[in-house]
Amino acid sequence: MTEAAKKIFQEAIKLPAMERASLIEELLSSMDKPDPELDKLWVKETEDRLAAYRRGDMKSYTADEVFAELGRT
Same domain, 45 and 19: no
Same domain, 48 and 28: no
Same domain, 40 and 67: yes
Q: What angle do CA 45, 48, 49 make, to 5 degrees?
A: 85
Residues 6+ apart with CB under 8 A from 52: 58
**Over the stretch 16-57, which tens digit does the pLDDT of each residue have?**
999 999 999 999 989 878 899 999 999 999 999 999 999 999
Same domain, 6 and 27: yes
The predicted model scores a pTM of 0.49
Same domain, 9 and 29: yes
Report d(CA 45, CA 7) in Å as an integer. Answer: 43
User: What total of structural domains would you count in the chain?
Assistant: 2
Same domain, 26 and 43: no
User: Is the dihedral angle over the CA atoms 21, 26, 30, 35 positive or is it negative?
Assistant: positive
Report d(CA 39, CA 18) in Å as an integer. Answer: 33
Domain, as residue range, for 58: 36-72
Same domain, 47 and 26: no
Identify which has the larger pLDDT, 31 or 9: 9
